[in-house]
Structure 1
Amino acid sequence: MLNKSVITLAVATALTATLAATSGCAVTRNQETVGAYVDDAALTTRVKGKFAADPTVSAMAISVETLKGTVQLSGFAKSYEEKAMAEKLARETSGVVAVRNDIAVRHPQ
């Protein structure tokens, strides 16, 4: 079993690489500005980092997307407690305006 700090580092590294690769994309009409996109990507990274550090939330099973400060959670949780904790961690993240929790509970307990 991998150490939690190794998993946290791996998630943070992957998200940083994704941010670096996509931050230079051109902005077209009806899209947010590059600055807003980078802010949203940073929020996504912070939320995923909180998931990786929390023992009850699976950072690998729950997806996080952010648009204009609104975080959308999706994927699968093992319990209602995990779903609730993921939402709580996202809401407590500085800069998050709202949270939309679309996580499905696979095997309710």
Structure 2
Amino acid sequence: MLNKSALTLALASALIATVGVTSGCAVARDQQTAGSYVDDTALTTRVKAKFAADPIVSAMSISVETLKGTVQLAGFAKSSEERAVAEKLARETSGVVAVRNDIAVRP
């Protein structure tokens, strides 16, 4: 029969092993790492800066979100030209993997 300290040590080892295995699975299950979050934040900032500098695109009317290099644009554009320019600017931003353009054109 195990003594009390051996049993405690065995339980602690099992707990550490369980935590190690489950925390390793977190990233494998498509959760974002800290590094990829920082990269996505930088991409979002660069796209928004391009919008702010462009005379056609209203940076205040279009939201930008990034996940794993995919930029999602949403909001309202005054014209189909503004919608297209916003998508073009996002696609041309270094580091952008893909763009989802969910911008609606106001009638």
Common fold: TM-score over 0.5: yes
Max Rg structure: 2
Residue deviations 1:46-67 (CA, integer Å, cap 9, x gap): 0000000000000000000000
Correspondence list, 1:20-35, <5 A: 29=26, 30=29, 31-35=31-35
Report the Cα distance in structure 1 between the residues aligned to 2:58 and 2:38, rounded to whole angstroms. 24
In the alignment, which residue of structure 1 is the partner of 2:7?
Answer: none
Q: Helix, strand or coil for the counterpart of 2:94?
A: coil
Alpha-carbon distance in structure 1 between the residues aligned to 2:38 and 2:103:
24
Structure 2 regions of 5+ residues with no counterpart? 1-25
Secondary structure of the residue aligned to 1:96 is coil
Q: Which ranges in structure 1 are unaligned for 5 or more consecutive residues?
A: 1-28
TM-superposed CA distance for 1:35, in Å, is 0.6
Q: Structure 2 counterpart of 1:102, which letter?
A: D
Which residue in 1 is equivalent to 2:80?
80
The RMSD of aligned alpha carbons is: 0.8
Rounded to whole Å, the distance in 1 between the matches of 2:42 and 2:69 is 10
The residue that corresponds to 2:55 in the other structure is 55
Q: Which one-letter code corresponds to 1:101 in the other structure? A: N
1:42 corresponds to which residue? 42
How far apart are the structure 1 equivalents of 2:77 and 2:88? Answer: 14
| Residues 1:100 and 2:104 aligned together | no
Matched to 1:69, the amino acid is: G
Q: SS of the residue aligned with 2:102?
A: strand
TM-score (norm 2): 0.72
Identity %: 82
